[in-house]
Chain A
């Protein structure tokens, strides 16, 4: 055990002291914090960035005048000038459109949108939708339904999901579950890939430096392999924890700084509101949307609060570690069988296949049907369960399934380590030989 501890500490220290590790550890949170700052800054300065674009409407039938509703980025102005003049008036003006609506009583064609730049799809589809809905409203009014009734039909329903559990009713949100689960599985996927490959590189390096035989004359190959795997796991955890801590503190700092700016900005726009109706309107609209998003946030927070965090975090740590250990052992075996990294391709493929497969499926099939047969079986098979089970857990998984999956994963982990150790033991002493799968299979029996 003392020797494994020595190996672990060497693997750990030699990596943590590397410049690339230190740079990545600090650069990562800075980048995330920077992006966060930009996002907030954009939100704060959104009114200036998204200047409303004018759409000059030439309405032959006068049927639409006053009925097309403005959107966040479009404002409809009704003009009485003729088409040619209006077209001329927007020449060189990138932020204006001319919408020509002929009499649509008999024929629905002939609606035209003029602009100096190609109008974006969202603009086109918004205008189309407005015209269509106005035509529909018109027909309904003609058939005796009043505008008031039509207005009252404009409704926004959001579904509240409630799970019936042993503890009673729990409200939850499919969106929040999805988000938390996906986050967990993405982290596990990245961690396995980044640090599993590091294990492989470490093994190849030892082989290339020809130090491996010197070391295994003092320790068992198994100890060397496990020491490396665990040492690198600790490097990964260190980086992960530092990232979480640094990212939260940097984003916290950013929020604090920018929210002050946000407040003063609101006050300013509030003060000038009476004199400048436009700006005031924009600001109150902004406030409204801020309130709305505040509601959304509290809803999401409520939903997140309903997720069983002790279970989730426990499961995350378990699948995170066991999944990594399982794959790292396989990566170590690959590293031992080759002489340099370019030879690893043929062996990498079958190892990474289940990983990629489960990652892709977890964002589609598993999320759509978290209790379906695909989700069930993939969360049981040890090669795919670390990623798939993480996606399923926030939706609620029966306890027996979680226990079963965990036992299978531990079994799978022990099995792969056993196999990997056999391949590793023989592989590290082989030089200058192209190894095939057939040969690796033979090594299992040595």
Chain B
């Protein structure tokens, strides 16, 4: 869907993007992650043709990005809002027409979405009369009314209350099922990692990691298992029971162990050895979270 090649963007005093390349696959939910100030918004603005890169190329559906493409992109900026004194119906029609829809088509689609979001009775209300949650629904409709093939959401859930965030999130995922590619940008990695199937990590203007979420996490797992046992033995005895134990945590009446699998040992062997010594409650592989991977990468690069 989107291919970004060697983008460089420099402002007066600092480099916002330093030779960033990435590929957003068709139909993916792509997480653009990184701390504040990493360069995410700069990259998004380049994709939306709000600013131009100093060098580098962006391809949209294998074509060099050009002005007409904005009709196929939906953008929800981090700094978002609506005209406070304009009726929301008119407002949606205006924004839809700016995205290239005809007036009749805009009306048809706006009616559909107003019904779906259960706000059709608010058509003639002004934004300033609406509750925050209501405004967010309107904002959502404005973002997707032209049925974009690519949706770019910058910090989409900041400022949403949990209920509305859930409604909107489900709408986004539904669109994704119908084939819309979505880019989520966020500095709160845990909030989007369950949603995304692809991610790119950006830190200090550089891309430090990119790929499928499952691949990345598998790549970063290191044969560590979490075992919950019930045992009367002391910590000392457990440590010397023949496993390479990384941590021992006491919880209520159980003990959680993190075990590093030894070279060449199979899971079943280890498990049977454990069963012979302890009462096993659970046994699972430890897969690092994106956040952990990010921290690991950042500390490494520093």
- Contact call B73/A214, Cβ cutoff below 8 A: no
Query: A214 vs B99: C-alpha distance in the bound complex, in angstroms?
Result: 11
- Say whether A162 faces chain B, with CB atoms less than 8 Å apart: no
- Contact call B81/A211, Cβ cutoff below 8 A: yes
Q: Which of A7, A209, A431 has most chain B Cβ within 10 Å? A: A209
- Say whether B84 faces chain A, with CB atoms less than 8 Å apart: yes
- Say whether B108 faces chain A, with CB atoms less than 8 Å apart: no
- Say whether B7 faces chain A, with CB atoms less than 8 Å apart: no
A side interface size, CB within 8 A: 23
- Contact call A213/B79, Cβ cutoff below 8 A: yes
B118 to chain A, nearest CB (A): 23
The listed residue (A209, A213, A216) touching B83 by CB distance below 8 A is A209
Nearest to A439 among chain B residues (CB) is B12
B side interface size, CB within 8 A: 25
B127 to chain A, nearest CB (A): 8
- Contact call A218/B80, Cβ cutoff below 8 A: no
Interface of chain A: mostly helix, strand, loop or mixed: helix
A-binding segment of B90-98, B242-250, B280-288: B90-98
Query: A296 vs B217: C-alpha distance in the bound complex, in angstroms?
Result: 96
The listed residue (A205, A217, A221, A446) touching B48 by CB distance below 8 A is A217
- Contact call B142/A214, Cβ cutoff below 8 A: yes
Q: Which residues of B contact A219 (CB under 8 A)?
A: 98
The listed residue (B48, B67, B76, B82) touching A211 by CB distance below 8 A is B82
Of residues 232 through 250 on chain A, the ones whose CB sits less than 8 Å from some CB of chain B are: none
B109 to chain A, nearest CB (A): 15
* Interface residues as binary, B1-40 with A (CB distance below 8 Å gives 1, 0 otherwise): 0000000000110000000000000000000000000000
Nearest to A211 among chain B residues (CB) is B81
- Say whether A14 faces chain B, with CB atoms less than 8 Å apart: yes
* Interface residues as binary, A10-25 with B (CB distance below 8 Å gives 1, 0 otherwise): 1000100000000000
The listed residue (B79, B97, B98, B99) touching A210 by CB distance below 8 A is B79
Nearest to A6 among chain B residues (CB) is B97
Query: A7 vs B94: C-alpha distance in the bound complex, in angstroms?
Result: 8
- Say whether A141 faces chain B, with CB atoms less than 8 Å apart: no
- Contact call A209/B84, Cβ cutoff below 8 A: yes
State whether A215 and B95 are in contact (beta carbons under 8 Å apart), knowing that A14-B85, A429-B50 are contacts in the complex: yes
Query: A349 vs B264: C-alpha distance in the bound complex, in angstroms?
Result: 78
- Say whether A69 faces chain B, with CB atoms less than 8 Å apart: no
Query: A6 vs B93: C-alpha distance in the bound complex, in angstroms?
Result: 11
Query: A210 vs B80: C-alpha distance in the bound complex, in angstroms?
Result: 5
- A sample of 22 inter-chain contacts (CB < 8 A) reads A6-B97, A7-B98, A14-B83, A209-B83, A210-B77, A210-B81, A211-B80, A211-B81, A213-B75, A213-B80, A214-B75, A214-B77, A214-B95, A214-B142, A215-B95, A216-B50, A217-B48, A217-B75, A218-B99, A220-B67, A429-B45, A431-B79
> Which B residues are within 8 Å of any A CB, using their own CB?
11-12, 45, 48, 50, 67, 70, 73, 75-77, 79-86, 94-95, 97-99, 142
